[in-house]
Structure formats: C-alpha cells, structure tokens
C-alpha cells in the first residue's frame, strides 16, 4: 500500500482511500486532481483487488483519458485499465455491445462535423436550399438544439421509423427548419450513423426500456469516478445517476471556481448540491497547490473571492516564493503587443524556451497586433485555433478509406471514390445517386452494379471496387495501422501526395499511423477497425499538439487543463475581458472564473497586460475590473497608471455593474400578464428574454413590442 499512498498528501490520501458510497472532492487548480484519480484507480486494483474492467473513470477529453491510462499502467503494470474514457466514448462501448436492442447494427457509424456537413450539402442540393436559408454552422446548431431541447424524443423516429418512413417525413417537410432536420434524420438512419447527441440519448433510452441491459451495466461498474465534475451537463448527469444506481460507489472531483462552460450546458449546481442529491456524501477539500508560486496564487485568490456564488476556499501554495505578478498598461494595442514580444525575447535570451511561454486571451480577434509584432521580431509562434488534426483533409481521406473497408458508407464513398482521380466526376456521381435512390441501395452498391455500363467505361471504377473488396474481406485480425498503410499505398493516395510534393500532408499521415499504432498498444486485442473508427470520430481539438519551440497563442477556454511556466494574459480591458456581451451577474461571475482559470495556468511568472486609448466607437478604453479586483499590493506595475485612470475605471465599472440583470427568470412575469408602465402605459407581456434580463411587452398604444428590463418598475394589473 505504501508504494501508492506515500506520495500523497493528507487530503489526497483521504480521497484515494475513501472508496465506498458517494464521495465529493473539491480540488482547487493545481491541487493534484489527476494524481488523486489515477492513484485511486491503482488503489482499487492493487490493494482492494477490484477488476479494472469493473471501474469507470470519465474524463472530458480523449487526450486526458489517454494520459490517465498511461499513468495508471505505470502504477499497476497492468495493460487492462478498464473504462477510462469520455462519456461519449463510454456510450460507444455500451452501444457496440447492446445497440441491437433498438434495431441498429453493432457496426453503426459515429458521425463528426464533416460528415454532418456532407449530409447538409446533399439536403440543400436535393431540396433547393441555399446558405441564405441557413449556414451549415447554424444548421448544425439548430439540429443540436432541436435534439436536446425542442424535440427531445426525436430518437424515437430514428428507432421506430424505417428509412422510407423517415424519407417521407423529409419530403413532406415544408419549412427550411423541418427540411433540414428530417433530411438529417433520414440520412442518419440510411447509413446507421449516430452523432454525439445520439450516443448519449440512445444509451439512456436503452437503459430506460431494457431493465436487464441496465442492470448488467450497473452491476459491472462497481466503482464510478468522474473528473472535471463542474463541467457535467444534464444528460451526462442523468447517465451517471443511472449507472451508479446499483453499487452507489460514486466519486466526483471538480472545482466550482473553474466552471466556464455554462454556455454548453455545464451546471455548477451538480457539484455544489451533490451532497443533497446523494445523502451520506463524504466531502474532501484539496486546496494545496503544486503548480504556481505564492505570488500568483495570492492574486488568483484575491480575484475569485469577489464571486458570490461559490464554495469558499483559498488555494494554499507549496512552492517557494517567486516573481511578483507583473501588470503592464500600454498606450496602444501595438505597444501592448510590443511589450509582450520584448519580454518573451528577454526570457528566451535568458534560456527559457519559447514553448514554455503562452499568451492567453478572451477572444481570437485580439491577436492581430500581437501576430504583427511576432512576425516583425521573427519570434516563432503557433496559434491553437487552426484546423484540428483529425479534421485535416488528408486525415479525413485516410479514415474514409478505412471506413469503406468496414462500412462502405455513402459519406466515405463520396469523399474518396475519385481521390486519387479515377475519372468518376460529378456526372457519374449523379447517375449513382439516382440509381441508389431508385433501388434503395448504397452508392457503393450502385457502383458495383453499374461498373460495366457504358457510362463507366474509361474510368477506374473496377480498380476501386477491387481495392475495397480486397480490404473489406481481409482486414479482420490485422492491425489497423497495417491496414491503413496498405490501403494508402494500394489506392495510390500516398503516391498522389508525393507527386504533388505535399510533404506536410504526408507528415500528417505518418503522424496518424503513429497515433493508431500507439492506440493499438494501449488497447491490445480490443482495437478492431470498427473500435478505432468509432473513437476517431470523438477526438477533440486537444488531441493534436504543435511541435517545435514556439510561443503558444490560445484562448483561455483552449488553455483549460493545461499549464505553462510563463503566461501573458493580454487585452485585460473592459469590453474584452470581461466580454462586452456579459449582461447578467451570473455571466459576470463566469467571466471572473475564466480569468481565474487563466491565471492559475501559470507556474512561475504571470503578466497581466492591457492598453489604454479609445475603442472604435470613440469611448475610452479602461483596464478590466478583474485587474482591479486584485488587491493592489499583489501586483507590480511596470509604471504607475495614468493619474485618474483607476478612479475613472472604477466609476465606469460601477455604472456598468448596475446595469447587469440577475439573469434569473424565476421571478419574471408569465406571458399574458397585463402590466402598466409609467411612460408607455398598459400592455401585455408576450415573452421573457432571460439572456437580456427583460420582459417582452406589447403596449396597447404602441404598434410594436418593447424589451423592458426586469429592473424597470411595472405595475401588475
């Protein structure tokens, strides 16, 4: 036992050895959260004799899961690391075992955004829609909103209707909204595809409707651990409740001061009120910070203490004293960028690699001046906002070849049937689409049946069919990395890239092969082609890294979970950070938490920078309230702020604060309520805008409705 526990502090040891019943760990930034999780897993396996396959450990990125698996392997020496994965990956595992319960094949296809875009393109072409009706991005958002909120039982159509039945609903649809939604469901069912929302929804549906399957998984998962619990949303919470319903050994760990994803459904109440939902909960506080210097932590504690809705705690430093937090107020945005670049060069000259430095910001638009300064100074940098690795064209093409071997689905077929060129252009593709629609078959099957007709003479259709048939029947039992290497060679794809001189794309394919090989070693015999493809569709932006000695530029959201020796938190101005769109007190608290997350990414030295001058609308530019939230004695200014600047900023912030709404529609008047306004007179409430904190009122004497802030005095009639 000592081999595992002697490297833990008292709070970590308590978290690791508290194994039975519900356990909540409040773990501050840099407090060793991942260590507690991995050591707890190892403790369960090596000391208590729990089988790894009976433990579920949920993280929020595939990268974090992979790192955790490696740490646990190093601790236990066992290649079996149980279920260490994201919620979506775990649902893939459940569905691959039990999706037959809803009539889907176990070889279902997991769809990502590029697949969805291809489906949308087909819908738009078939039904005459254009991007003026709705952009693809807005269409994806609309589909997600419909699935999660407006039509939460949509999956019943997917399960209960036939492909022809869904197509009829699609063809009967009139509005762009319904055309897109039912066209998408129809295409999902046609290729037995499931998107991210479907994975959780169908899993919950199977558990709800099939008690035997539910009990099987509940009994199997003797211990459940959930990382980053402050980021959990309602569907994930529901899934967690179901899974923990038998053994009730539920361990959650998170930090309410790092809730920065409410806009995508995260709700801090699940962490704060966990003990109310699960009576008998044991709560452990982990506040010793092993990442940052006392100076950085003092500033971060001072900032976050201004939030009202939080669980009171202060991070306690364990590192020796270091540099003060530097605060720099520049005259212009260009001057601010110049300061950052000069400091980065100075650190580099002193022996600090550029890769140990990061510039963090609230939004990408602030980087223009910074990029210009970096280019001028010839400082190498990487912006973490480009095309993610698994969305790069050559990677998607390679995975589509693998999908053709496993599934022969229309999306993969459309992507690579003419890559490299096989003389199967749009005219022949249109023929295949019409044939497939008429005969109710896939595009690949249409090509199989039509390859010898006159239209396809002079093409390489037969060579393509031979390639797919060879690998469709021959991939079983072979390593995925070996299958991919052979397909890319036999298809002529890599030869095409070499002919084009596309070395960067060839390097990306080499990286893909390496990542598959690494995954095979980790997963062992479980890594079948279908298994790998399902998980490849779930990879996130954090699964790719930028090599080389480069200064890192990224948003604070992208930096969540990362740490850097030196951090520049730039553009700390009102209207930038906090964002000018922040119009409620809960949102302002989230912005402050976001600033707290940014500051606690830092290990050795933190810079807070801003610029004065004027905004585009001519208004004065003030320092961020988050800088002013920090006790002045905890900051070291490079030069004293302009006389009167802090006073003017505080006056501006005080006025802006008064305009914030509570963001709570609980006390709002329901639609239909008759009211009287002191100026506009009598009217009727027609709606409530919680985002803006306003009633929508149609006044009797005014032809159009008005948005009236909650704070306005209204007399209820």
Hey, what are 613's tokens?
């001058």
Contact in structure between 157 and 78 (CB atoms under 8 Å): no
Phi-psi region of 663 (alpha: psi -120 to 50; beta: other; left: phi over 0): left
Q: Closest Cα to residue 254, out of 29, 48, 70?
A: 29
Hey, what are 316's tokens?
């306690």
The C-alpha torsion from 600 through 601 and 605 to 608, rounded to 10°, is: -70
- C-alpha 534/C-alpha 108 separation (Å) is 8
Contact in structure between 155 and 198 (CB atoms under 8 Å): yes
Active site residue 511: no
The C-alpha torsion from 146 through 150 and 152 to 155, rounded to 10°, is: -40
Active site residue 258: yes
The catalytic position among 12, 38, 86, 258 is 258
Hey, what are 238's tokens?
């529901």
Beta bridge partners of 328: 609
- C-alpha 595/C-alpha 659 separation (Å) is 21
Q: What is the DSSP letter of 541?
A: G
Q: Do β-strands 325-330 and 357-361 pair in parallel, antiparallel, or remain unpaired?
A: unpaired
In whole angstroms, how far apart are CA 39 and each of 9, 225, 272?
12, 12, 24
The catalytic position among 115, 118, 228, 257 is 228
- C-alpha 107/C-alpha 472 separation (Å) is 13
Q: Which helix (H) or strand (E) holds 23?
A: strand 23-27
Q: Collapsing DSSP states into helix, strand and coil, what is residue 678?
A: coil
Q: Closest Cα to residue 326, out of 628, 602, 605, 595?
A: 605
Active site residue 178: no
The catalytic position among 428, 601, 605, 625 is 601
687 burial level (CB within 10 Å; 0-12, 13-18, 19+): middle
Q: Collapsing DSSP states into helix, strand and coil, what is residue 661?
A: strand
Active site residue 601: yes
Contact in structure between 47 and 39 (CB atoms under 8 Å): no
Q: Which residues in 426-451 are b (16+ Cβ under 10 Å) and which e?
A: eebbebbbebbeeeeebbbbbbbebe
Q: Collapsing DSSP states into helix, strand and coil, what is residue 441?
A: coil
Active site residue 463: no
Rounded CA Rg of the chain: 28
- Whether omega for the bond prior to residue 166 falls within 30 degrees of 0, making it cis, is no
- C-alpha 242/C-alpha 218 separation (Å) is 8
85 burial level (CB within 10 Å; 0-12, 13-18, 19+): buried
Assign 3-class secondary structure to 565-597: EEEEECCCECECCCECCCCEHHHHHHHHHHHHH
Active site residue 682: no
In whole angstroms, how far apart are CA 378 and each of 245, 345, 356, 381, 546?
58, 10, 17, 9, 18
Q: Do β-strands 193-194 and 109-110 pair in parallel, antiparallel, or remain unpaired?
A: parallel
In whole angstroms, how far apart are CA 425 and each of 113, 420, 421, 628?
24, 12, 9, 62
Residues 6+ apart with CB under 8 A from 562: 358, 601
Q: How far is CA 49 from the centre of its chain?
A: 35
The catalytic position among 24, 33, 187, 362 is 33
The catalytic position among 19, 34, 96, 287 is 34
The C-alpha torsion from 218 through 224 and 228 to 234, rounded to 10°, is: 20
The catalytic position among 98, 157, 227, 574 is 227
Q: Do β-strands 357-361 and 551-555 pair in parallel, antiparallel, or remain unpaired?
A: parallel
**Residues acting as catalytic residues:** 33-34, 227-228, 258, 601
């Amino acid at each position: 036992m000592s081999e595992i526990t002697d490297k833990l502090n008292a709070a970590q040891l308590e978290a690791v050895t508290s194994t039975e019943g519900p356990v909540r760990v409040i773990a501050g930034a840099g407090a060793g959260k991942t260590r507690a999780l991995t050591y707890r897993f190892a403790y369960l396996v090596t000391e208590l004799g729990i089988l790894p396959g009976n433990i579920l450990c949920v993280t929020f990125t595939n990268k974090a899961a992979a790192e955790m698996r490696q740490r646990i392997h190093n601790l236990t020496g066992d290649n079996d690391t149980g279920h260490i994965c994201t919620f979506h990956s775990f649902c893939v595992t459940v569905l691959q075992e039990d999706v037959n319960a809803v009539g889907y094949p176990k070889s279902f296809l997991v769809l990502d955004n590029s697949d969805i875009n291809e489906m949308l393109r087909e819908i738009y072409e078939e039904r005459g829609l254009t991007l003026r009706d709705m952009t693809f991005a807005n269409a994806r958002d609309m589909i997600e909103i419909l699935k999660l909120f407006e039509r939460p039982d949509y999956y019943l159509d997917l399960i209960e209707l036939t492909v022809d039945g869904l197509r009829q609903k699609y063809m009967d649809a009139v509005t762009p909204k319904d055309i897109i939604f039912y066209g998408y469901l129809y295409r999902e069912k046609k290729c037995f595809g499931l998107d991210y929302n479907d994975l959780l929804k169908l899993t919950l549906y199977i558990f709800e409707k099939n008690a035997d399957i539910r009990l099987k998984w509940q009994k199997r998962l003797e211990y459940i651990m959930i990382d980053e619990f402050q980021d959990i949303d309602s569907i994930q919470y529901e899934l967690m409740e179901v899974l923990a319903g038998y053994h009730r050994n539920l361990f959650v760990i998170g930090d309410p001061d790092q809730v920065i994803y409410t806009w995508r459904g995260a709700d801090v109440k699940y962490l704060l009120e966990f003990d109310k939902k699960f009576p008998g909960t044991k709560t452990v506080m982990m506040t010793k910070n092993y990442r940052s210097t006392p100076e950085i932590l003092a500033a971060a504690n001072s900032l976050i203490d201004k939030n009202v809705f939080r669980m009171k705690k202060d991070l306690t430093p364990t590192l020796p004293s270091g540099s003060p937090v530097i605060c720099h107020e520049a005259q212009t945005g260009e001057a601010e960028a110049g300061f950052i670049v000069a400091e980065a060069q100075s650190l580099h000259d002193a022996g600090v690699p550029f890769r140990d430095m990061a510039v963090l910001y609230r939004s990408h638009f602030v980087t223009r001046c910074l990029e210009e300064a970096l280019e001028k100074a010839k400082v190498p940098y990487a912006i973490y906002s480009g095309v993610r690795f698994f969305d790069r064209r050559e990677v998607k093409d390679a995975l589509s070849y693998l999908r053709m071997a496993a599934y022969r689905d229309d999306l993969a077929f459309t992507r690579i049937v003419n890559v490299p060129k096989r003389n199967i252009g749009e005219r022949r593709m249109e023929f295949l689409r019409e044939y497939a629609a008429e005969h109710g078959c896939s595009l690949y099957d249409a090509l199989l049946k039509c390859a010898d007709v006159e239209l396809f003479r002079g093409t390489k259709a037969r060579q393509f069919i031979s390639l797919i048939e060879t690998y469709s029947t021959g991939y079983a039992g072979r390593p995925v990395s070996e299958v991919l290497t052979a397909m890319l060679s036999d298809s002529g794809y890599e030869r095409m890239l070499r002919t084009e001189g596309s070395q960067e794309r060839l390097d990306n394919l080499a990286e893909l092969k390496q990542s598959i090989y690494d995954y095979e070693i980790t997963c062992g015999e479980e890594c079948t082609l279908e298994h790998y493809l399902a998980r490849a569709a779930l990879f996130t932006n954090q699964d790719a890294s930028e090599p080389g000695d480069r200064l890192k530029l990224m948003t604070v959201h992208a930096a969540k979970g990362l740490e850097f020796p030196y951090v520049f938190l730039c553009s700390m101005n009102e209207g930038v950070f906090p964002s000018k769109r922040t119009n409620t007190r809960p949102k302002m608290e989230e912005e402050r938490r976001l600033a707290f997350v940014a500051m606690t990414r830092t290990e050795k030295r933190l810079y807070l920078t801003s610029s004065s001058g004027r905004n585009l609308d001519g208004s004065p530019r003030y320092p961020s309230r988050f800088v002013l939230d920090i006790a002045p004695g905890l900051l070291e200014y490079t030069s004293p702020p302009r006389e009167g600047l802090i006073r003017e900023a505080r006056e501006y912030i005080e006025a802006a604060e008064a305009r914030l709404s509570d963001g709570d529609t609980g006390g709002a008047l329901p639609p239909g309520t008759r009211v009287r306004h002191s100026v506009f007179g009598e009217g009727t409430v027609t709606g409530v805008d919680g985002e803006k904190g306003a009633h929508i009122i149609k006044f009797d004497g005014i032809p159009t409705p008005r948005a009236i802030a909650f704070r306005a005095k209204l007399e209820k009639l």
